[in-house]
Amino acid sequence: MAITGSVQQKKGKWYAVLNLKDINGKRKAKWISTGLTVRGNKKKAERFLEQQIDKYSENLADNSATDILLADYFERWLPKIKDKVRPNTYRSYKGNMENHIIPYFREKKIRLQQLCPVNLEEYYQYMKEQGLSSTTIKHHHQNISKALSDAIHDKLLIYNPASAAKSPSPAKFKAKFLTPKQLEQLMLLVKGSVIELPVQLCSIYGFRRSEVLGLKWKYIDFDQRTLTVAETLQQNTGGSYADVTKNESSCRMLPLTQQAYDLLLAQKEQQEERARVMGSYYNKSDYVCTWADGKVIEPNYLTRTFHKILQKSDLPMVRLHDLRHSTASNLIEQNVSIVNVASWLGHSSPTTTLNFYAHTNQEQKKRVANVIDGMLAVR
């Protein structure tokens, strides 16, 4: 795919005109000003043209890759990125690619360098017809875009077709939450179970699953009455692994409420007593949320058990993560500022909090309405 071009005059100046192709493969002329006046500068303009052709040619895809099927490229791409992304991210990529994306494009027999935005839009529509949500399809789009971006880096593509493909917009998120009264009922349901402590802490602090299970005693200060969220415990195939927090703002120090202080102190004393009695049979670690023998609670176990307990109750079927939304929504209803709620949850910005939970603050909206009525009342 050699680039050609010519020099052209326009408004008394020389221009280098390159014959390129747009994202749909159609010819598109690119005019680049040389900054040279027409009189006596034709040879300089031609040298400038040659330089521009060399520059743009460096970005051309490797023609030796024209026969690669898109499905084959995706299969080769997966192991290459395994050690470059977090295990959870790789697991998501792998699941989406192997279960949906690769089978679809293998059947279509589309080649990597023949891929157009419309091919991707047809895929998104097909997935929608198969019952996948807009949010899930959006994740597929992001996976594909990442893989194609890496293909550009490897000079297998000139442009990323995903950048021009229209992916479905996810439905606006509406958080589900439990009221304070419902949370009290939930605490009675989990009382005495191994998930009692993590569920209690999630209800108090709005922790993510990975945050509550990643809590370690070295981050609990009983003297200063603080806890610090500094590590997470992530689920992976075959077990869990320790990781850093989701982002910088997720790493946060919070005061121990009296309830949290009592819960954690009781857990600490119980772990120490069990370690003394069980001796070498006790699995010593620094984790706060553990089984009776000291083994850490696996993230998936916490989620499954939480769902099973709710299924046997009259409470709404919410997700474990909805305890985080419950904390936020209930704090807002108690007139805690958005800024303080964002800090409590570890959001990167109060705007994030506002986008999630502004619709729950009905009482404050009613007060605003009453104020306006008072201001504009006809006397």
Residues 36 and 148 in one domain: no
For residue 149, what pLDDT band results from cuts at 50, 70 and 90? very high
Among 62-71, 114-123, 237-246, top mean pLDDT goes to: 114-123
Determine the length of the chain.
Answer: 379
Residues 279 and 343 in one domain: yes
For residue 106, what pLDDT band results from cuts at 50, 70 and 90? very high
Last residue of a domain, one of 129, 163, 197: 163
Residue 39 lies in a domain: yes
> What pLDDT score does 362 carry?
60
> What pLDDT score does 21 carry?
65
Residues 207 and 351 in one domain: yes
Burial class (CB in 10 A: 0-12, 13-18, 19+), 121: middle
Place of tokens 């699941």: 95
For residue 357, what pLDDT band results from cuts at 50, 70 and 90? low
Q: What percent of the chain has pLDDT over 90?
A: 58
Question: Is it the case that residue 369 has pLDDT exceeding 70?
Answer: yes
Question: Is it the case that residue 373 has pLDDT exceeding 50?
Answer: yes
Q: Which of 23-27, 29-33, 235-239 has the lowest mean pLDDT?
A: 23-27
What whole-number distance in Å separates Cα of residue 89 and Cα of residue 112? 23
Residues 47 and 89 in one domain: no
Question: Is it the case that residue 371 has pLDDT exceeding 50?
Answer: yes
Residues 36 and 150 in one domain: no
Read off the pLDDT of residues 111-123 as tens digits, 9 standing for 90 and up.
998 898 999 999 9
Mean pLDDT value across the chain: 87
Question: Is it the case that residue 377 has pLDDT exceeding 70?
Answer: no
> What pLDDT score does 370 carry?
76
**Count: domains in the chain:** 3
Q: Which residues contact 361 (CB under 8 A, 6 or more apart)?
A: 332, 333
CATH number for the domain that contains residue 185: 1.10.443.10
Residues 153 and 232 in one domain: no
Read off the pLDDT of residues 301-320 as tens digits, 9 standing for 90 and up.
999 999 999 999 999 999 99
Kindly report the pTM of this predicted structure.
0.66
Residues 250 and 221 in one domain: yes
Q: What percent of the chain has pLDDT over 70?
A: 89
Residues 154 and 220 in one domain: no
Place of tokens 């209930």: 330
Residue 288 lies in a domain: yes
Question: Is it the case that residue 172 has pLDDT exceeding 80?
Answer: no
Q: Which residues contact 288 (CB under 8 A, 6 or more apart)?
A: 197, 215, 216, 217, 220, 264, 267
CATH number for the domain that contains residue 112: 1.10.150.130
Read off the pLDDT of residues 256-302 as tens digits, 9 standing for 90 and up.
999 999 999 999 999 999 999 999 999 999 999 999 999 999 999 99
Residues 83 and 226 in one domain: no
Q: Using CA of residue 187, residue 190, residue 192, residue 198, what is the dihedral sign?
A: negative
> What pLDDT score does 22 carry?
54
**Which range marks the domain in which residue 187 is found?**
180-363
Averaged pLDDT for residues 219-239: 90
Residues 50 and 84 in one domain: no
Higher pLDDT, residue 74 or 372 = 74
**What region, left, alpha or beta, does residue 109 occupy, with left being phi > 0 and alpha being psi -120 to 50 degrees?**
left
Residues 261 and 305 in one domain: yes
Residues 55 and 196 in one domain: no
